[in-house]
Amino acid sequence: MDLHALLDDIREMVECESPSADLVAVARSADVVARIGERRLGAAPEHIVLDGRTHLRWRFGTGPTRVLVVGHHDTVWPVGSLAVHPCTIENGVLRGPGCFDMKTGVAMAIHAIAGLEDCDGVTLLVTGDEELGSPSSRSLIEDEARGADAALVLEASADGGALKTERKGVSLYDVRVLGRAAHAGLEPERGVNATVELAHQVLQVNALGSPLEGTTVTPTASGTGTTTNTVPAGGSFAVDVRVRTVAEQQRVDTAMRSMRAVLPGASLEVGGGPNRPPLAADDSAALYERACALAVRLGLPVPPSAAVGGASDGNFTAGVGTPTLDGLGAVGGGAHADDEHVLVEEIPGRTLLLRALVADLLAQPTNDRHAAGAARP
């Protein structure tokens, strides 16, 4: 493996800034990723533009997708971040906006596939809106995953290089509280105080969490009222829900939609709902065992596993029933933060493991998902 070439490709991607909300920047980044991919893979991708957001897809072979490799090229970093956080490599550490989450993973995927003797049946999908929750690419991801033997997600690893074998599902809600305005000094009794109603609802929502089930229900951004001398007529608060199981996601959703106002004259509107299904441990167990066996065969350290609260596009692939292994990308840390970084020495081994995993999956009988649990002898 040519590590220098791989690092050059990572730098080229990182130095093309691609904040998710900037459609022009994302399109420009897609052109860079497409150019790198064509150079390494010998084939140009399809540019798929949905709601103005640019996604890339390489399909190899003429048959159905058997192994789906998933990444994203958008980041949370605004244009201009490179001026403060330039792309550098010093003392074995690569830095730069989006290097860990997850442009290194995209470059690794390209180089891993490029090194395969036969990539017939592989699809590489690189989306441009993951950091927003994949609003335009969700259906694309799910459609590509259906029927595949496996989905391999190049999001960055968890601490210590751990593969992500479990991700919580996510639900997002907006609760709007409607009251009635009145003068706070002259006749407050004529009003219906939206702030008080909001306080009742926040406490009820907060109580929906279940530590035993690993369910968190967190009221977040909120606001009510207009002036200090007016009984608030309206307000709202957002709710972030993280769950390990579909049953818990449904339980919380039912409870959220059953909320009723406490104060006479007040009313509620609850918007939103489930955003991503869980990636359960059972969805990844067989692939994780396979990856560990291949690591031993390659003489690489066996990667640990981790359950994480954050979501990714792997939630969508698992949600349609496709075995999914996540966190196969860079080892490092500081995602979305000033100290975002990648450990260079880990890149070659992780790329070789990905290549071996794809090759081993392609060598098994088509759609024999039960055979994904162990590497072939």
Structure token pair of residue 331 = 């080892």
pLDDT at residue 365, as a whole number: 76
* Catalytically annotated residue among 74, 149, 197, 283: 74
Same domain, 49 and 134: yes
Identify the burial level of 361 via C-beta atoms within 10 angstroms of its C-beta, where 0-12 means exposed, 13-18 middle and 19 or more buried: buried
- List the domain range (segments joined by +) for residue 364: 3-167+278-373
Same domain, 211 and 293: no
Cβ pair 48, 55 in contact under 8 A: yes
Contacts with 139 (C-beta within 8 Å, 6 or more apart), sequence order: none
- Residue appearing with tokens 């969490």: 209
Number of structural domains (the chain) is 2
Same domain, 39 and 162: yes
Q: Which of 253, 269, 259 is nearest to 200 (CA)?
A: 259
Identify the burial level of 67 via C-beta atoms within 10 angstroms of its C-beta, where 0-12 means exposed, 13-18 middle and 19 or more buried: buried
* Annotation marks residue 130 as catalytic: yes
pLDDT tens, residue by residue, 41-93: 999 999 999 999 999 999 999 889 999 999 999 999 999 999 999 999 999 99
Same domain, 110 and 204: no
| Domain final position from 276, 299, 325 | 276
pLDDT at residue 372, as a whole number: 55
Q: What do you get for the CA distance between the two ends of the chain, in Å?
A: 24
Q: Which of 198, 149, 164, 88 is nearest to 329 (CA)?
A: 164
* Catalytically annotated residue among 17, 101, 130, 253: 130
Give the CATH number of the domain where residue 132 resides. Answer: 3.40.630.10
Same domain, 163 and 208: no
pLDDT at residue 364, as a whole number: 86
| Domain final position from 235, 250, 276 | 276
Same domain, 75 and 196: no
Same domain, 180 and 155: no
pLDDT tens, residue by residue, 268-290: 999 999 999 999 999 999 999 99
Give the CATH number of the domain where residue 191 resides. Answer: 3.30.70.360
pLDDT tens, residue by residue, 210-262: 999 999 999 999 999 999 999 999 999 999 999 999 999 999 999 999 999 99
| Percentage above 90 pLDDT, the chain | 95
Same domain, 98 and 215: no
Radius of gyration (C-alpha) of the chain in whole angstroms: 23
* Annotation marks residue 74 as catalytic: yes
Structure token pair of residue 324 = 């999914």
| Domain final position from 260, 276, 292 | 276
Same domain, 260 and 334: no
Same domain, 89 and 149: yes
